[in-house]
Amino acid sequence: MRRQRNVKIVATLGPASSTYETIKALHEAGADVFRLNMSHGSHDEIAERHKIIRQIEDELSSPIAILADLQGPKLRVGTFANEAEDLVEGAKFRLDLDEAPGDINRVCLPHKEIFAALKPGANLLVNDGKIRLQVEDCGDDYANCVVTTGGTISNRKGVNVPDVVLPLAALSAKDKKDLEFVCELGVDWLALSFVQRPADVLEAREMVRGRASVLSKIEKPAAVQDFDAILDVSDGIMVARGDLGVELPVQNVPPIQKRLIRRCRRDAKPVIVATQMLESMIESPMPTRAEVSDVATAIYEGSDAIMLSAESAAGEYPIEAVTTMNNVAIEVENDPTYREVIEASRHVKGESVADAIVAAAREIAETTEISAICCFSQSGTTALKVARERPRVPIVAMTSRRGTARRLALTWGTTTVITEEFNRFKSSVLASVGAVKRMGLATEKDQVVVTAGVPFNIPGTTNIVRVAPCDERLIYASEPE
């Protein structure tokens, strides 16, 4: 299924989108990737949604990526004797390990790791930052704080600690069970929540054992500070603006988003922009103008994908939300300014023969009459490098590996075609031509650019770029074996 846009759409599944009919409608409306949120839903429910996606994939012969999003370590206060208390600015409030119900003066914070890392002056944010506490003095089992922003604190509200790197395990016990479950189930991408350091990603990769690509969610200040090192060990990135906007001043998030997108593109790794993109469509069939502008900004910046969370998982208008995203993307990408912005931000440091090959393919496509760039890619790396170039013509990734085809559904501008394995270059050219003609991208009068590697079927050997006619008779007559 070829879209009329390059940016990809990720839709989260949930109670509002768990049936075969709705999931199929979401895919047909524009969803390229489905997100399974491991914070919600039982393993049986997750398995059923996975089964439905694969059924739709088979019926439509359209590779679909499935992204499983791990919950990550959740930090929460305990309970209150009165269920809730109103904290006023300037009041004193204590956090400790005492499991007794809380009151107006104190509450349990059952995370000794936090106390081990706190220092006077550190800030704690409760209930998505609605309440702010500043530590005055602390020890191994307590923190005496002053309320700097008041509000109502109630049972089990979440806590963010933006000022310190917490000595927490990268994966909770629940995360480890969920990771093994979804890897055995057969997901394509695994998203790691609350990444703080490269070691968090490496720990997950060791458990994944190559069964899925690993995507790091950037939602902690520590992850922003150590982003280059985290990117090096990740297969992809999600700019998770929800918690990032809680732990950092909200005005810091837009420039961080822009910077991270550019770094991901430089390294040819897919990046998703997520959280509150069409938030009002949870309850309204129409988005706000500001939300539409937010979606458009992520597209202009060159993001590989944009994501719906509660809008498609629990909202009243999941299909309308995907349709809106699809329509915004088409409109933006047809704007001449979009192409100017995308090309002005192209900055690639060539480091290999493959880098030179894909750069040449893009230049050929833009200076001659070329209908598409077809790249043979076993691991997906060559297709990612072609997508980094952001060419003006469609990218068709040819691969014999179904897993590679699915993972590339997250990559900008890439349509994947599953082929047989080839041992001869002529066969690969014929397969490319046949694919673009079946997709309606070319006729016999057109030409395509083909990139491949010899010897075939060995990842990392891209070393050929060829302009090929779409008339098979000319290929048989002129193309070498």
* pLDDT tens column, 376-415: 988 999 999 999 999 999 999 999 999 999 999 999 999 9
* Whether 372 contacts 480, CB under 8 Å: no
Q: How far apart are CA 218 and CA 275, in angstroms?
A: 12
Active-site residue (options: 5, 8, 12, 35): 35
Catalytic choice (49, 106, 132, 217): 217
Q: Starting from the edge strand earliest in sequence, which strands make up the sheet with 106-108, in order?
A: 106-108, 92-96, 142-149, 131-139, 123-126, 159-160
Alpha-carbon torsion (377, 381, 386, 390), positive or negative: positive
Distance CA 158, CA 103 (A): 17
- Where are the domains positioned within the chain? 8-72+170-339, 84-160, 353-478
CATH number, domain 353-478: 3.40.1380.20
66 burial via Cβ count (<10 Å: 0-12, 13-18, 19+): buried
Model pTM score: 0.93
Looking at residue 233, its pLDDT comes to 98
Amino acid of residue 144: N
Q: Which of 275, 382, 415, 416 is catalytic?
A: 275
Which one, of 201, 276, 210, 208, lies nearest residue 237 by Cα? Answer: 201
The reported pLDDT for the residue numbered 350 is 67
Q: Which of 414, 412, 415, 193 is nearest to 306 (CA)?
A: 412
Q: Does residue 2 have an active-site annotation?
A: no
Residue from 3, 54, 76, 263 carrying the catalytic annotation: 76
Q: What is the pLDDT of residue 336?
A: 95
The one-letter code for the residue type at 440 is G
Answer yes or no: 35 catalytic.
yes
Domain 84-160 has CATH 2.40.33.10: yes
197 is catalytic: no
Q: How far is CA 329 from CA 5, 145, 289, 312, 335, in A?
A: 6, 47, 14, 17, 10
Per-10-residue mean pLDDT for the chain, 481 residues long?
93 97 98 96 96 97 96 93 96 97 96 92 93 96 97 94 86 96 98 96 97 97 96 98 92 97 96 97 97 98 97 97 98 97 82 89 93 93 95 95 97 95 85 94 94 77 88 73 56
Q: Is 275 marked active-site?
A: yes
Dihedral sign of CA atoms 449, 451, 452, 454 in order = positive
**Cα 326 from chain centre:** 17
DSSP-based three-state secondary structure for 44: helix
Q: Which CATH architecture has domain 8-72+170-339?
A: Alpha-Beta Barrel (3.20)
pLDDT value of position 456: 73
